[in-house]
Structure 1
C-alpha cells in the first residue's frame, strides 16, 4: 500500500484573531444554510395566510433558488474586483433588510420580492465569505480545519432549518422564519468590520460583462428547468426548453471566456483537473444528501405518519453526523490526502444510503434510518470538505473569489438540482399507488450517483505522480517521469 506523501505547512495554530474571524464567517454561513430549508415546513401556512394559490406556492422556494444559484459566480468575481469584505457586509445588510421585509409582508408579491432579495444576498455573501475564509487562513491544516467547520455548519444549517422552521411555525408564526435572520445579521454586521480585513487586487480589471450575462442566464435557465421538471415531469416542454437554453448559454459562456481579454473565469482555470472534477464531485455530494433529506421526509410523513415537526427533529441525527464529519475532516485529509478522503467519504455515504433500500412500514425501521443517516452525514461531509479544499487549493489569492464562486455555484445548483430529480423519480415509479416503492427507487438512484462521484474522484483526481507510477508499473524499462509540482491537498 502506497503511503501518502509527506506534507509541509506553515502555521498549525489559530491566533485569537483567526478564531474571531472564523466565528464571524461561520455564523454568517450557518444562517445562509438555514435559509435554504427553513420555509419548507411553513409553505402551506404561508400560502393560506397571504393568499397564494397552490400553483404559485412553489415560487416562494424557487424565487430564492433562482437568485442564489444564478448570480453566485458573478458575485464571486465581483468580490475579487471590488473587495470581498465590502461585498460580504453589503450582502449581509441586504439579507437583514429583505428578511425583515419578508417577515412583515402582507401581499404575495412583497414576499416573493423579499425572497429574490434574500437569494441575491446569499449569492453575494456565500462566495465573499468563503474567499475571506480561504485568504484569512494559509493553505494547509489551518485552512482545512476552517473549511471543515464551515462545511459542517453549512450542512447542519440545512438540516437545522427544517427543524427550526417547524418549531417557529408551530410555536410562534411563519413570519419568524424570516425575522430570525434580522438579529443574527445585525450581530455579525456589528462585529465584522473590526475583524475582517479587506482583500482585493491592486490593479482592478474590467468586469467581463458578456461572460457574466451568459453564465447568469445559463444558470437561471438551468435551475428553472430543473425545478419545473421536478414539478411537472421531464416531458414538460417549458422544462425541456429551459434546460436546452441553459446548456446552450453555458456552452456560449465557455466560448466567450476563451476569447475574453479579462475573463470572468479564465479558461485555464476551467481546464484545471482539480477545479473541474473537484466541483463535479461536490455537485454530486450536495445533490445526493440534500435530496436524501427530501426522500426521508417523504418516508417519515407519508409512510410512517410523522408530523412535519417530528420528521424535522428526526434529522437531528443527520445533523450530528455532518458536524462530526466536518470536525474530523481536516485530520482525515492530513492522514489520507484529499483524493482518498473524497473516496473514503463517498464510499461511506454510498454504503449508508444503500442500507435505506431495506426500509419498510412501521416505526421499528427508525432503528435502521437513524444510524444510516448519521453515517451518511459523516461520509458526505468528508466529501464536501475534500471538494472545497480541492477546488480552492493551488490558486493565488487574487483568484480565490472566483474559485469560491465556482464552488458556491456548485453548492447552490446541487442543492437545487437534487430534490426535483428525486421527486421526478418517486413520481414516475409510484404513480398514484403507494409511495414507498417510489422512495426505494429514488434511494437506489441516489446511491448510484454517490458511487459515480466516488469513481470521478478516484480516477480523475489522480496526481501526475500517480499517473507516472501507474505507467512505470506497466513499462518497467521506462525511465521514471518527473511530475510537475502540485499542492499536497490534491493528493
Structure 2
C-alpha cells in the first residue's frame, strides 16, 4: 500500500481554519471531564467492600458495582459518538456532564444494592455521551499538527493515569470520609467543568438529517455485554459448561450480525471505513490489548497489596501513585518525539516495555519488597504506556473525515473499555482456574492456599504480558513507519 499520504508538505485543497483562541481552555475542560470518566472505572474498586457491607450486597452481585458502569459505557460509546456528530458536540458534551453529575449523586445516595447498580449504569450511559464528544472536540479544534500532538499527549496522559488516580482517590475518600464520596465528589467537579465549558466551547455538528443505526446499536451493545457475561460465567462454571459456551456463541452471532448490518444500512453506527484503514485498525486493536493487560495488572496487584501484603485502602492507593506521574511525564514528552520517530517505533517500544514489566511481576513472592520489585515494575510499565498512548490516539484519529470524528473518537474509548471489561472477566477466570488446579494437585491447607494464590497471580501476569507483547508485534508488523499528516477540515 502506498505511503504517499504520509509525505509532509502535500498541498491542501483549502486553507486550514484559524486556530480557536479558546482552544487551551477547552482542552482543560475536556481533559477534566475525561479524567472523571476514566477514574470512575476504577475509583469504586477500593470502596466496593465498604459499599457491599453497607448495602448488604451478596458476593455474587457485587461485581455489578463495577460492570454496570463499564458495560453501559463501553457498549453505548459508538452510539454516543454518532449522536454527538449530529446533535452537536458541545450540546451533547454539556448533556453528558449534567447527566453524569445526577447519576453520580444517585449512586452515592443509594440505599439498596440495585439503586447503586442503576446509578452506576446511568453513569455509564452519560459517560458514553460525554467521552466521544470530548475527544472529537479536540480533533476538530486543534488543526495545527504540532498543537494537535501536544493536545493528544495531554489527553493521553490523563487517560493513562486515570486508573491509578482512581485507586488513590478511592483510598483517600474511603478511609477518611465514606465510600459514598467516591461517587459524590463527581458532582462539584462536573459543575465547575460545566461552568467553564459553556463560554469556551463553540458548537459543531454534521449537517444534514440525523439518522441513527438503532439495530446496529442494539446488536453491538448486547453482543459485547453477552461476551463479557460469558467470560464472567466461565469463572464460576468453567469454559466447557453449556451456559458459558452458549453465551459466548450467542455473543459471536450478535457481533457478526452487527458487522453485517453495518455493511447494509444507509447510516451505519460504525462505518467500516473507519476501522478498515490499516493504521487505525491496528491502533484500535492495540487499545483493546492494552486495556486487557493493564486492567489485569491493576486488578490483581490491588488484590496482592491488600490481601497478601496487608496494606490499608489508602496505602494501596499510594502504591500506584508513581504510575500516573510517570505516565503524564512520558506521554507529554512523547508528543515531541512523535514527529521525529513516528508512531510505529514509539508504540512498539512502549508496548514491549510494558510487557517486560508485567512479566516481571511473575517473580512476586508473599513478602516481596515494594521498592525492590513493585516500584521498578510500575515505573517501567508507566513509561511504556506513556510511549503508546499519544501516538495511538494520533494514529486512530489523524486523517479521519470530519463526519466520522465522533464515531472514531468513541471507538478509541470503546476499545479501551471493552478491553478492560474483557480483561477483568478473562483474567479472573484464568486466576480462579489456576488456583483451583493448584489446590487439586497439592491439597487445601492454609499454606497451600497461599501458594495457590501466588500461583494464580503468576499465571495472570504471564498471560497479561503475552497480550501486551502481542500488541507490540502487531504494531511493528502493520503500522506504517512514517507519521501521518492529519487532515484539517473545517465544519
TM-score (norm 1): 0.89
Alignment-derived partner of residue 349 in structure 2 = 344
Unmatched runs of 5 consecutive residues or more in structure 2: 1-5, 440-448
**Secondary structure of 2:40's partner?**
helix
Deviates more, 1:308-317 or 1:200-209: 200-209
Deviation, structure 1 residue 231? 5.3
In 2: Cα distance, 1:240 partner to 1:409 partner: 24
Deviates more, 1:191-200 or 1:348-357: 348-357
Alignment-derived partner of residue 454 in structure 2 = 436
Alignment-derived partner of residue 402 in structure 1 = 407
Q: Given that residues 282 and 474 in structure 2 are in contact (C-alpha distance below 8 angstroms), is that contact kept between their aligned partners in structure 1? A: yes
Deviation, structure 1 residue 205? 4.0
Q: Given that residues 219 and 254 in structure 2 are in contact (C-alpha distance below 8 angstroms), is that contact kept between their aligned partners in structure 1? A: yes
Alignment-derived partner of residue 480 in structure 2 = 462
Deviates more, 1:427-436 or 1:339-348: 427-436
Please list, as runs of the form range in 1=range in 2, the aligned pairs for 1:96-111 lying within 5 A after superposition.
Answer: 96-111=101-116
Question: What's the RMSD between the two structures over aligned residues?
Answer: 2.3
Deviation, structure 1 residue 59? 1.4
In 1: Cα distance, 2:271 partner to 2:35 partner: 30
In 2: Cα distance, 1:133 partner to 1:237 partner: 46
Unmatched runs of 5 consecutive residues or more in structure 1: 467-485
Match of 2:465 among 447, 457, 460: 447
Please list, as runs of the form range in 1=range in 2, the aligned pairs for 1:66-465 lying within 5 A after superposition.
Answer: 66-138=71-143, 140-230=145-235, 232-364=237-369, 366-431=371-436, 432=439, 433=449, 434=451, 435-462=453-480
Deviation, structure 1 residue 359? 2.3
Alignment-derived partner of residue 487 in structure 1 = 484
In 2: Cα distance, 1:286 partner to 1:241 partner: 25
Deviation, structure 1 residue 383? 1.5
In 2: Cα distance, 1:221 partner to 1:294 partner: 22
Deviates more, 1:137-146 or 1:412-421: 137-146
Q: Given that residues 62 and 227 in structure 1 are in contact (C-alpha distance below 8 angstroms), is that contact kept between their aligned partners in structure 2? A: no
CA offset digits 1:162-183 (Å, max 9, x no partner)? 1111211111111111110000
In 2: Cα distance, 1:403 partner to 1:234 partner: 34
Q: Given that residues 292 and 446 in structure 1 are in contact (C-alpha distance below 8 angstroms), is that contact kept between their aligned partners in structure 2? A: yes
In 1: Cα distance, 2:144 partner to 2:225 partner: 33
Higher relative contact order (CA 8 A, sep 6+): 2
TM-score (norm 2): 0.89
Deviation, structure 1 residue 222? 2.2
In 2: Cα distance, 1:211 partner to 1:359 partner: 44
Deviation, structure 1 residue 7? 4.1
Deviates more, 1:32-41 or 1:350-359: 350-359
In 2: Cα distance, 1:88 partner to 1:97 partner: 14
In 2: Cα distance, 1:361 partner to 1:103 partner: 35
CA gap 1:382/1:216 in 2 versus in 1, 3 angstroms = same
Alignment-derived partner of residue 473 in structure 1 = none
CA offset digits 1:363-399 (Å, max 9, x no partner)? 4353221021111111112222222111111112221
Deviation, structure 1 residue 304? 2.2
CA gap 1:236/1:49 in 2 versus in 1, 3 angstroms = farther
CA offset digits 1:227-277 (Å, max 9, x no partner)? 333455434544433322222111111111112222222232332112222
Q: Given that residues 47 and 179 in structure 2 are in contact (C-alpha distance below 8 angstroms), is that contact kept between their aligned partners in structure 1? A: yes
In 2: Cα distance, 1:179 partner to 1:230 partner: 32
CA gap 1:141/1:440 in 2 versus in 1, 3 angstroms = same
CA gap 1:364/1:220 in 2 versus in 1, 3 angstroms = closer
